[in-house]
């Protein structure tokens, strides 16, 4: 089977935490254990410009929700992302999407 | 994983908190909800879900959840409660409330709610069945939440309006009639973590992806302002001046929609004259926003077709909130953006079904005009405040708390508190409310967890069902939808069930009209031609029908808005009124104006010398709904500490390091917070998230889960309400100073 991954359009990630909690629920992780974690980066670029960027990254606990995707469901994080900025799929397809738009990050968890 | 069943329902709390509307799937095994997901076939949320909904199982099955009725056996504040049966609880409540009614009159009982859930329906139903006119958001200074905006919209255009994200169409963004707003003005809100009224915050992100450009007005940089074409970093509480300056630019540069304005509005000349007082230069000084930016934003908004404004609760909390809301409302009317695709569309509940009465008309339809008018004789604040008297049915909270203490003009003896952690939540001047509540002879609290309010004052605590355990329905704009129970937890009952049962005891006529709660729901759903069960079995939700008063667009042209069926609007003149006849009738200025915050650099410079920072409370967190969820592990770890956001320059000047505990104080008291040093706040403000209490600490008096240490409302005054009676709570404009705290605030 072709390798799969998660494509994050971090231009639109609002840092809402849905992916984190969806993952914990899916895998019954207690507080303190994360399958995915959202990072925040803030910097003042100029008086008129501020960067506020969020980026979720899947941790070593991410199994790409194999238990869901194997019967056609979306990974828990992808399904619930409020900004709909996460895509699950085959790496080659995701790379093709990446070419079309800036501010994307592709993760290929083991 | 195997499930016994999957129940689809609607999120309208308890659980996520919020103003609801999302489609939910509840996965049940062995009579337990074991998983919660979004419903991908639901048009409101399209499968998405917020973290609070996704953590519902931790909320429902929390070891500290209250699952049976309790009565207090030790003194108030001792935390000594024992389990009792529902019969004993309801019998006790009925007997005590009857005594109070006989001795002092039914108006001596306040029926207090917070926000969220379907609470407005059941609590007004209970209050009126008992005979009390005092349905209230106790503690909410100036009743500064949405009602000021609703009142202003009703007065101006005879209807409410919301940003059009195609939420009234089952096809949503694919509806061929729909257009994405070219420009969206986000006025005083961070819609992503917030729970805007009947609105899914990320719809704005959907629009951005489809090309909408943003203008953001906020004292604090948000994710949206960082992405915006224009960010106006405004001085808290001066939104009214900004709106008037934008009106000024739009009228004087003739950027308004001349055809729409001449056909559908009255009062342009008066408005022009009023707005002329608010030159961009003068308003730049008032608002801290550069003159050029004010002009550019007005032009950008007015030239875009269509454009939409999405506003937040700070509008209500501005001084004279009802006039600020009026001014902003005028912007979408001047530019012809009312009820057009991608503009601000008129919002009525689908099919005209009411659960939570949002307007005087709905109050009349449910309870009768004579009855509603009679309530005004004793309703707190109705005499003093014309808008309180004439719009919706709320008792006025600033007047109420005074009356609880003074007993004038009549005594208040009991509080029924449901969906509200008054002391850990909305109450400004927390100490005053603590004192006032302690004076009550009898207090019932219906809630899911112990909190500062149950601990301090409850005599009886009733266990409330979460959304997964309740039968109800939701009609707040669109769609109209049912809330279907999946399981039972302990002996918990829904707000509707509790109130319906008690209401029947006080008013036996109700029992004849509505033998069961379902009969009441069926009655309310009549305009749909379906019963509750039929609606549930038909999929659980319905969009408003085409060519009806509850479905956009351009209903004023088609005679769908006025009771007489003529084209136009439901206002005294039949037109949009830039100078409001209703306001004039109520003894208010018919035109919008700006008023300084009660404490400010202009109004109280001497106080500013002592307290140089404006405390803006209320920034939203995705993982909390107001004072809820601090005890939910999955959520609390995402936003663990009661923080204060401080600009690096302020931190440096005061010797405060990131992560250190600081004291925030003014003449009303002092609280402690953990410093988050960040450039996103204006150097003249501090942002202090509200609703903080620490469930992990001692609940009994005097600690009350740490409210005296961390609750920012200790610092906020009561008694700053607008002349209309609605709006003006100083939650965003209170002056404070900060200094490094001695010791840790743990
Ligand atoms: S794909 Fe599944 S396991 Fe991986 S981060 Fe998303 S929810 Fe967690
Ligand atoms: S759910 Fe989506 S928008 Fe929210 S934090 Fe995760 S990636 Fe970002």
Count Cβ atoms below 10 Å from residue A43 Cβ, excluding itself.
Answer: 10
- What digits encode the pLDDT tens for the residues B51-87? 999 999 999 999 999 999 999 999 999 999 999 999 9
Please check the confidence at residue B150 and state whether its pLDDT lies above 60: yes
Question: CATH assignment of B605-740, given 3.30.1330.120, 3.40.50.1220, 3.40.50.20, 2.40.40.20?
Answer: 2.40.40.20
Phi/psi of residue B311, nearest 5 degrees: -120, 165
A16 with B679: Cβ contact below 8 A: no
HSE-CB of B595 using CA atoms within 13 angstroms = 23
- Name the packing angle between helices B517-524 and B495-506 (round to 10°): 100
Residues of B within 8 A of A40 (CB-CB) are none
Helix (H, G, I), strand (E, B) or coil at B24: strand
pLDDT bucket at B745, cuts 50 / 70 / 90: very low
A82 close to ligand 2 (CB < 6 Angstrom): yes
For chain A, the first-to-last Cα distance in angstroms comes to 14
The alpha carbon of residue A68 is apart from the nearest alpha carbon of chain B, in Å, by 10
Please check the confidence at residue B589 and state whether its pLDDT lies above 50: yes
Specify the residue for token string 């790496």.
A91
Chain A CB within 8 Å of residue B633 CB = yes
Closest CA in chain B for residue A50: B226
Residue nearest ligand 2's atom 4 by CA: A16
Q: Indicate whether this complex's ipTM tops 0.95.
A: yes
Please check the confidence at residue A110 and state whether its pLDDT lies above 90: no
- pLDDT attached to residue B647: 98
Please say whether the dihedral angle defined by the alpha carbons of residues B383, B387, B388 and B391, taken in this order, is positive or negative: positive
- pLDDT attached to residue B406: 98
Structure tokens at B584: 């004039």
Ligand with smallest separation from the Cα of B193: 2
- What digits encode the pLDDT tens for the residues B165-176? 999 999 999 999
The alpha carbon of residue B37 is apart from the nearest alpha carbon of chain A, in Å, by 8
Chain B CB within 8 Å of residue A37 CB = no
A15 close to ligand 2 (CB < 6 Angstrom): yes
Average pLDDT of every residue of chain B: 97
- What digits encode the pLDDT tens for the residues B106-131? 999 999 999 878 899 999 999 999 99
Please check the confidence at residue B209 and state whether its pLDDT lies above 70: yes
- pLDDT attached to residue B727: 97
Q: Ligand 2 center to residue B634 CA distance, Å?
A: 15
Residues in chain B: 746
- What digits encode the pLDDT tens for the residues B447-475? 999 999 999 999 999 999 999 999 999 99
pLDDT bucket at B195, cuts 50 / 70 / 90: confident
- What digits encode the pLDDT tens for the residues A54-88? 999 999 999 999 999 999 999 999 999 999 999 99
Do B134 and B395 touch, CB atoms closer than 8 A? Answer: yes
Residues of chain B within CATH 3.40.50.740 domain(s) are 70-136+359-466+491-514
Q: Where are the alpha helices (DSSP H) in B472-550?
A: 495-506, 508-513, 517-524, 532-537
**Minimum-distance CB partner of B49 among A14, A30, A80:** A80
Nearest to B267 by CA among B575, B556, B586, B589: B575
Q: How far is it, in rounded angstroms, from Cα B144 to Cα B387?
A: 13
The secondary element (H helix, E strand) that includes residue B666 is strand B661-666
Which residues lie with the beta carbon below 6 Å from any ligand 1 atom?
Answer: A 22-23, 26, 35-36, 58, 62-65, 75-77
Architecture of the domain delimited by B70-136+359-466+491-514: 3-Layer(aba) Sandwich (3.40)
User: Mean per-residue pLDDT for B226-251?
Assistant: 98
Residues of chain B within CATH 3.30.200.210 domain(s) are 5-60
Please check the confidence at residue B253 and state whether its pLDDT lies above 80: yes
The alpha carbon of residue B81 is apart from the nearest alpha carbon of chain A, in Å, by 30
Structure tokens at B609: 């010398």
B50 with A82: Cβ contact below 8 A: yes
Q: Give the CATH fold of the B147-349+562-585 domain.
A: Dimethylsulfoxide Reductase; domain 2 (3.40.228)
**Residue of A9, A12, A19, A35 to mutate, ligand 2, most atoms within 8 A of C-beta:** A19
Do B499 and B123 touch, CB atoms closer than 8 A? Answer: yes
Nearest to B614 by CA among B512, B545, B716, B541: B716
Phi/psi of residue B263, nearest 5 degrees: -80, -35
- What digits encode the pLDDT tens for the residues B394-423? 999 999 999 999 999 999 999 999 999 999
Residues of chain B within CATH 3.40.228.10 domain(s) are 147-349+562-585
- Name the packing angle between helices B239-252 and B291-303 (round to 10°): 60
**Minimum-distance CB partner of A16 among B51, B222, B633:** B51
* pTM reported for the whole predicted model: 0.97
Beta strands in B120-166 (DSSP E): 135-136, 160-163
- What digits encode the pLDDT tens for the residues B360-400? 999 999 999 999 999 999 999 999 999 999 999 999 999 99
B193 with A16: Cβ contact below 8 A: yes
Q: How far is it, in rounded angstroms, from Cα A11 to Cα A54?
A: 8
Q: Ligand 1 center to residue A64 CA distance, Å?
A: 5
Q: Ligand 2 center to residue B621 CA distance, Å?
A: 14
Nearest to B691 by CA among B746, B622, B617, B636: B617
Residues of A within 8 A of B678 (CB-CB) are 42
The alpha carbon of residue B555 is apart from the nearest alpha carbon of chain A, in Å, by 32
Please check the confidence at residue B746 and state whether its pLDDT lies above 70: no
- What digits encode the pLDDT tens for the residues B261-320? 999 999 999 999 999 999 999 999 999 999 999 999 999 999 999 999 999 999 999 999
Helix (H, G, I), strand (E, B) or coil at B432: helix
- What digits encode the pLDDT tens for the residues B330-368? 999 999 999 999 999 999 999 999 999 999 999 999 999
Chain B CB within 8 Å of residue A81 CB = yes
Q: How far is it, in rounded angstroms, from Cα B430 to Cα B427?
A: 6
Is the domain defined by B5-60 classed in CATH 3.40.640.10? no
- pLDDT attached to residue B208: 98
Domains of chain A (ranges, CATH numbers):
4-107 (3.30.70.20)
pLDDT bucket at B744, cuts 50 / 70 / 90: low
Please check the confidence at residue B743 and state whether its pLDDT lies above 70: no
Q: How far is it, in rounded angstroms, from Cα B247 to Cα B255?
A: 10
- pLDDT attached to residue A109: 87
Do B555 and B340 touch, CB atoms closer than 8 A? Answer: no
The secondary element (H helix, E strand) that includes residue B37 is strand B32-38
Residue nearest ligand 2's atom 3 by CA: A13
The alpha carbon of residue A2 is apart from the nearest alpha carbon of chain B, in Å, by 26
Closest CA in chain A for residue B40: A79
- What digits encode the pLDDT tens for the residues A15-34? 999 999 999 999 999 999 99
- pLDDT attached to residue B686: 98
Query: Which residue, among A82, A87, A101, would best test binding to B if mutated, counting the most B CBs under 10 Å from its CB?
Result: A82
């Amino acid at each position: 089977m072709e390798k799969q991954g998660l494509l994050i359009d971090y231009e639109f990630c609002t840092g809402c935490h849905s992916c984190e909690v969806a993952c914990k629920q899916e895998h019954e992780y207690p507080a303190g254990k994360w399958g995915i974690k959202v990072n925040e980066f803030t910097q003042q670029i100029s008086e008129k410009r501020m960067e506020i960027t969020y980026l979720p990254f899947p941790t070593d606990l991410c199994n790409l929700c194999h238990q869901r995707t194997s019967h056609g469901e979306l990974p828990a994080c992808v399904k619930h992302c409020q900004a709909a900025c996460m895509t699950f799929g085959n790496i080659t397809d995701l790379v093709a999407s990446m070419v079309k738009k800036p501010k994307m990050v592709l993760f290929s968890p083991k | 994983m195997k499930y016994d069943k999957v129940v689809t329902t609607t999120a309208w709390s308890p659980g996520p908190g919020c103003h609801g509307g999302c489609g939910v799937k509840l996965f049940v095994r062995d009579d337990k909800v074991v998983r919660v997901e979004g419903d991908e076939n639901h048009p409101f949320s399209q499968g998405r879900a917020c973290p609070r909904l996704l953590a519902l199982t931790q909320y429902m099955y929390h070891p500290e959840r209250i699952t049976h009725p309790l009565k207090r056996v030790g003194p108030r504040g001792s935390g000594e409660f024992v389990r009792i049966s529902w019969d004993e609880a309801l019998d006790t409540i009925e007997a005590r409330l009857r005594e109070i009614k006989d001795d002092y009159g039914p108006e001596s009982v306040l029926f207090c709610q917070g926000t969220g859930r379907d609470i407005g329906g059941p609590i007004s139903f209970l209050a009126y069945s008992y005979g009390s006119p005092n349905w209230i958001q106790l503690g909410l200074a100036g009743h500064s939440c949405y009602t000021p905006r609703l009142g202003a919209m009703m007065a101006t255009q005879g209807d409410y309006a919301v940003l059009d994200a195609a939420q009234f169409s089952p096809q949503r963004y694919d509806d061929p009639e729909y257009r994405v707003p070219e420009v969206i003005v986000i006025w005083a809100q961070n819609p992503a973590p917030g729970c805007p009224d009947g609105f899914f915050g990320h719809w704005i992100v959907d629009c951005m992806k489809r090309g909408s450009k943003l203008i953001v007005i906020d004292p604090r940089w948000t994710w949206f302002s960082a992405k915006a074409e224009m960010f106006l970093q405004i001085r808290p509480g001066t939104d009214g001046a900004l709106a008037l300056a934008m009106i000024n630019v739009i009228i004087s540069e003739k950027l308004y929609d001349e055809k729409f304005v001449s056909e559908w509005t009255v009062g342009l000349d008066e408005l022009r004259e009023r707005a002329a007082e608010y030159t961009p230069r003068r308003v730049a000084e008032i608002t801290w926003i550069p003159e050029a930016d004010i002009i550019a934003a007005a032009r950008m908004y007015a030239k875009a077709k269509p454009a939409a404004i999405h506003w937040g609760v700070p509008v209500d909390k501005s001084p004279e909130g009802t006039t600020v809301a009026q001014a902003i409302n005028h912007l979408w009317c001047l530019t012809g953006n009312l009820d057009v695709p991608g503009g601000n569309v008129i919002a009525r509940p689908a099919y005209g079904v009411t659960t939570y009465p949002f307007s005087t008309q709905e109050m009349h339809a449910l309870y009768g005009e004579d009855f509603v008018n009679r309530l005004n004789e004793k309703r707190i604040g109705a005499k003093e405040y014309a808008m309180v008297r004439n719009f919706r049915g709320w008792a006025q909270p600033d007047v109420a708390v005074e009356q609880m203490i003074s007993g004038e003009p009549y005594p208040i003896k009991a509080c029924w508190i449901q969906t509200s952690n008054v002391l850990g939540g909305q109450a400004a001047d927390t100490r005053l409310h603590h004192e006032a509540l302690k004076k009550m002879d009898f207090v019932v609290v219906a809630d899911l967890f112990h909190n500062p309010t149950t601990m301090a004052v409850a005599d009886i605590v009733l266990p409330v069902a979460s959304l997964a355990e309740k039968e109800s329905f939701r009609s707040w704009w669109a769609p109209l939808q049912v809330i279907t129970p999946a399981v039972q937890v302990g002996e918990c009952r829904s707000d509707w069930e509790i109130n319906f049962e008690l209401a029947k005891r006080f008013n036996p006529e109700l029992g004849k009209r509505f033998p069961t709660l379902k009969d009441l729901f069926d009655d309310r759903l009549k305009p749909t031609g379906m019963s509750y069960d039929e609606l549930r079995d038909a999929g659980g939700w319905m969009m408003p029908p085409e060519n009806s008063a509850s479905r956009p667009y351009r209903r004023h042209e088609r005679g769908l808005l006025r009771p007489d069926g003529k084209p136009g609007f439901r206002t005294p003149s039949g037109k949009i009124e830039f100078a409001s006849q209703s306001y004039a009738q109520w003894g208010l200025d018919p035109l919008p104006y700006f008023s300084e915050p009660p404490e400010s650099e202009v109004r109280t410079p001497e106080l500013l010398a002592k307290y140089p920072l404006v405390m803006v409370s209320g920034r939203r967190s995705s993982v909390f709904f107001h004072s809820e969820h601090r005890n939910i592990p999955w959520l609390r770890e995402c936003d663990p500490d009661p923080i204060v956001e401080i600009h690096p320059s302020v931190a440096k000047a005061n010797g405060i390091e990131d992560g250190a505990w600081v004291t925030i104080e003014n003449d009303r008291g002092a609280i402690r917070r953990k410093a988050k040093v960040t450039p996103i706040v204006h150097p003249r403000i501090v942002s202090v998230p509200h609703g903080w209490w620490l469930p992990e600490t001692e609940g009994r008096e005097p600690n009350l889960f740490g409210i005296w240490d961390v609750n920012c409302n200790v610092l906020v005054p009561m008694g700053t309400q607008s002349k209309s009676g609605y709006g003006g709570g100083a939650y965003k404009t209170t002056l404070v100073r900060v200094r490094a705290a001695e010791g840790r605030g743990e």
